[in-house]
Amino acid sequence: MADTESGSFLPRMRLDDLLAELQSRLEAVLATRDRVHSLLEAVVSVGSELDLETVLHRIVEAATALVNASYGALGVIGDESTLVQFVPVGLSEEEIARIEHWPHGLGLLGLLIKEPQSLRLRDIADHPESYGFPAGHPPMRSFLGVPIRVRDEVFGNLYLTEKRNGEFDEEDEAIVTALATAAGVAIENARLYEETRRREAWLEVSSEVTTSLLSGADPHDVLVTLARRTREMTDADVATISFGATPEVLRVEIAEGLGAEELLGIELAAEDTVAGLVLRTAEPQVADIRSCPDKAPVGKAGPSLSVPLGKGRNVRGVLGLGKRGGRLPFSSADLRMVQALAGQAAVALELAEARKDAERLGLLEDRDRIAKDLHDVVIQRLFAAAMTLMSVVRLVEKPEVTGRVQHVVDELDATIRQIRSTIFALHTPREEAATTVRGQLMDLVESARGHLGFMPGVLLEGALDTVVTPKLADHLLAVLREALSNVVRHAHATEVNVTVDARDDALLLEVGDNGVGVPEEGRRSGLRNLAERAEILGGTFEVVRREPRGTCLRWRVPLS
């Protein structure tokens, strides 16, 4: 009985061991199947997205989940074999804020950049290339690093640390390597999509800017559109357009995006800024401004791109683009498209200015023609009519008829003087009128219109812009300002006429109104001031009553 029991016990033990081993292998197969299934899901998830930054974040999330890692990151390698972007997963915002700076690609991470092959460590500190962690960085021991290749180019590296249930093994390395291969394809697709989208946006913006400028739109509004659309096209956070206020100072005239209100109108020293360097050299500049935040063209630390508006000596300004720190830097494709767009905008601006100059020249030619017609035809006919009426006066016997004819002759003379004044104004371009004596007089009279409720009549005689010196013009404008102010405050007039005559070696200013007149008593400090100005210049000043009502102010000084 004992032998039988003993004999049956041994096979039963072997059967239990066999079943346990089969169970273990089945669990391993199921686990492997689940991991492969998870890998396939991760590949599909990564490949279904076309936005590059979203793709990068999904790659890190998928890698950490596949190997059960606590932390993961993807480092993007720049042109100088340094990390230009770091995409972390597993760190809270508070933990990220405590880290002094992101890795720059030194130490162990730099080894993966120099030797792009998988690296698996039990403890990071044991490796001779270990550089340590920046201040505030959480402690990490186990490590798995795998390069991500896009065709023959190493795009970046996947970094995984702190596996939750032990150390990283060969299977983990194989799974992450497979994911990295699929990630390379997804990154390439995202790049191609982004490149196509940017080209379409560039063509659209280019057409919009050129059409707007050549159709007569305000250049400032077009440049605002250029800044906004360029920022959208390059996915920048802020865009500015700066112009040289002086040779030493740049002023930000247009700002779009992050912090635009703070940037608009600020002045930058041309010697100490990237924008100033672009303006001096007419060469574009691309940089990651974390190393020199004081030179940021847009005032924010991060990648920057600055291009000139124009070429050579014809640089009109600087278009600056900036991103927040930690974002992908501007690519060479960004530079080419923005530079081409800026150059095209500069050419369109030149064409728009040429068109405006042509329109201005045509306007001046029309003014000259009108002035010539007024002088050679209209004035001559009016003068002939006046001479005819003067000859008729001698033949008229009735005094009342003679008075009426003489009044018509006086009106014709006044009309001739008014036309001559108009001819002088036609010869002065509108944009230059504000700096001339005539322009300043008209601006002063126009400013009194709102207070009076009507536009005063104006008659300007003689070559005021030629014979009136700047010092004399200052006195003239001050006297006219005081006279109009008195009419507004005291006269209660419904009609005001201003005459300025610079002939016969004297400058005469007359301001007449149909108001209540100057009272016999009261303060006359303003009139005393006008008399003193006339006396200083060797002239005269008088205020006379008009019939049936009103006042006439006469201020006369010599021109010499």
The tens digit of pLDDT for each residue in 353-381 reads 777 778 777 777 777 777 777 766 777 77
**Contact, 495 vs 519, CB < 8 A?**
no
pLDDT at residue 326, as a whole number: 62
What is the rounded distance in angstroms from the CA atom of residue 327 to the CA atom of residue 377?
A: 73
- Identify whether residues 188 and 223 lie together within a single domain: no
Kindly indicate the confidence band of residue 421, based on its pLDDT and cuts at 50, 70 and 90. low
- Identify whether residues 167 and 218 lie together within a single domain: no
Burial 503-537 (b: 16+ CB within 10 A, else e): eeeebbbbbbbbbebbeeeeeeeebeebbebbeeb
pLDDT, greater one: 373 or 167? 167
Q: Residue 299: pLDDT above 50?
A: no
- Identify whether residues 336 and 469 lie together within a single domain: no
What distance separates the 2 farthest-apart alpha carbons in the chain?
A: 174
CATH of the domain at 53: 3.30.450.40
Cα dihedral: 256, 260, 266, 270 (round 10): -50
What residues contact residue 466 under an 8 Å CB cut-off, 6+ apart? none
End-to-end CA separation in angstroms for the chain:
151
Spatial CA neighbour of 383 closest among 375, 392, 394: 375
Helix H or strand E encompassing 316: none
- Identify whether residues 177 and 205 lie together within a single domain: no
Q: Residue 292: pLDDT above 60?
A: no
pLDDT at residue 537, as a whole number: 92
pLDDT at residue 472, as a whole number: 92
Last residue of a domain, one of 333, 353, 373: 353
**CB-count exposure of residue 330 (10 Å: 0-12, 13-18, 19+):** buried
What is the rounded distance in angstroms from the CA atom of residue 21 to the CA atom of residue 18?
A: 5
Which of 89-103, 260-274, 309-323, 404-418 has the lowest average pLDDT? Answer: 89-103
Last residue of a domain, one of 300, 328, 353: 353
Q: Tell me if 16 is assigned to some domain.
A: no
Q: Which of 266-270, 445-449, 493-497 has the highest mean pLDDT?
A: 493-497
Instruction: Kindly state the average pLDDT of the residues 518-542.
Output: 81
Q: Which of 290-294, 489-493, 538-542 has the highest mean pLDDT?
A: 538-542
Instruction: Kindly state the average pLDDT of the residues 436-465.
Output: 85
Which of 281-285, 421-425, 484-488 has the lowest average pLDDT? Answer: 421-425
Helix (H, G, I), strand (E, B) or coil at 101: coil
**Contact, 55 vs 188, CB < 8 A?**
no
Provide the 8-state DSSP code for 376. Answer: I
pLDDT at residue 393, as a whole number: 75
The domain tally of the chain equals 3
Q: Give percent above pLDDT 70 in the chain.
A: 79
What is the rounded distance in angstroms from the CA atom of residue 543 to the CA atom of residue 530?
A: 11
Q: Residue 540: pLDDT above 90?
A: yes
pLDDT at residue 48, as a whole number: 61
pLDDT at residue 259, as a whole number: 83
Which range marks the domain in which residue 145 is found? 35-193
Strand-pair partners of 246: 249
The tens digit of pLDDT for each residue in 427-438 reads 555 555 456 888
Instruction: Specify the residue for token string 């014979």.
Output: 467
pLDDT at residue 298, as a whole number: 42
- Identify whether residues 243 and 348 lie together within a single domain: yes
Last residue of a domain, one of 300, 318, 353: 353
In angstroms and rounded to an integer, the radius of gyration of the C-alpha atoms of the chain is 43
Instruction: Specify the residue for token string 């008209």.
Output: 442
Helix runs in 374-398, H state only: 379-393
pLDDT, greater one: 510 or 193? 510
Helix (H, G, I), strand (E, B) or coil at 510: strand
Neighbours of 9 (CB within 10 A): 10
Instruction: Kindly state the average pLDDT of the residues 175-203.
Output: 79
Cα distances (angstroms) measured from residue 21 to each of 25, 26, 30, 34: 6, 8, 14, 20
Instruction: Kindly state the average pLDDT of the residues 148-166.
Output: 81
**Contact, 103 vs 76, CB < 8 A?**
no
**Contact, 254 vs 358, CB < 8 A?**
no
Three-state SS annotation for 484-499: HHHHHHHHCCCCEEEE
**Contact, 319 vs 76, CB < 8 A?**
no
Cα distances (angstroms) measured from residue 156 to each of 50, 78, 106, 194, 393: 18, 9, 14, 18, 104
Instruction: Specify the residue for token string 């008088």.
Output: 542
- Identify whether residues 346 and 495 lie together within a single domain: no
Whether pTM > 0.75 for this model: the answer is no
Q: Residue 475: pLDDT above 80?
A: yes
Q: Tell me if 9 is assigned to some domain.
A: no
Q: Residue 553: pLDDT above 90?
A: yes
**Contact, 338 vs 206, CB < 8 A?**
no
Instruction: Kindly state the average pLDDT of the residues 32-57.
Output: 64
CATH of the domain at 511: 3.30.565.10
- Identify whether residues 156 and 229 lie together within a single domain: no
CA 439 to chain centre: 33
Instruction: Kindly state the average pLDDT of the residues 221-243.
Output: 86
Positive or negative torsion for Cα 389, 391, 395, 398: positive
Instruction: Kindly state the average pLDDT of the residues 299-308.
Output: 74
Q: Tell me if 370 is assigned to some domain.
A: no
Q: Residue 308: pLDDT above 70?
A: yes
Cα distances (angstroms) measured from residue 280 to each of 55, 84, 239, 388: 40, 28, 20, 70
Spatial CA neighbour of 485 closest among 522, 530, 520: 530
Q: Tell me if 265 is assigned to some domain.
A: yes
Q: Residue 277: pLDDT above 80?
A: yes
Cα distances (angstroms) measured from residue 366 to each of 372, 426, 432: 10, 9, 17
Q: Tell me if 540 is assigned to some domain.
A: yes
Report the side by side order of strands in the sheet with 238-246.
267-269, 249-257, 238-246, 317-322, 303-309, 285-288
Neighbours of 286 (CB within 10 A): 19
Strand-pair partners of 150: 153
Q: Tell me if 372 is assigned to some domain.
A: no
Number of helices (H) and strands (E), helices first, in the chain? 16, 16
Positive or negative torsion for Cα 297, 298, 302, 304: negative
- Identify whether residues 105 and 59 lie together within a single domain: yes
- Identify whether residues 232 and 184 lie together within a single domain: no
- Mean pLDDT, the chain, as a whole number? 77
Burial 167-184 (b: 16+ CB within 10 A, else e): ebeeebbebbbbbbebbb
Instruction: Kindly state the average pLDDT of the residues 412-417.
Output: 76
pLDDT at residue 79, as a whole number: 62
Q: Tell me if 177 is assigned to some domain.
A: yes
pLDDT at residue 251, as a whole number: 85
- Identify whether residues 332 and 203 lie together within a single domain: yes
pLDDT at residue 442, as a whole number: 84
Kindly indicate the confidence band of residue 118, based on its pLDDT and cuts at 50, 70 and 90. confident
What is the rounded distance in angstroms from the CA atom of residue 303 to the CA atom of residue 76?
A: 14
pLDDT at residue 2, as a whole number: 45
**Contact, 233 vs 202, CB < 8 A?**
yes
- Identify whether residues 180 and 72 lie together within a single domain: yes
pLDDT at residue 554, as a whole number: 94
The tens digit of pLDDT for each residue in 15-37 reads 666 666 656 555 555 555 555 55
**Contact, 501 vs 413, CB < 8 A?**
no
Instruction: Kindly state the average pLDDT of the residues 80-89.
Output: 72
- Identify whether residues 270 and 252 lie together within a single domain: yes
What is the rounded distance in angstroms from the CA atom of residue 438 to the CA atom of residue 428?
A: 9
Q: Tell me if 119 is assigned to some domain.
A: yes
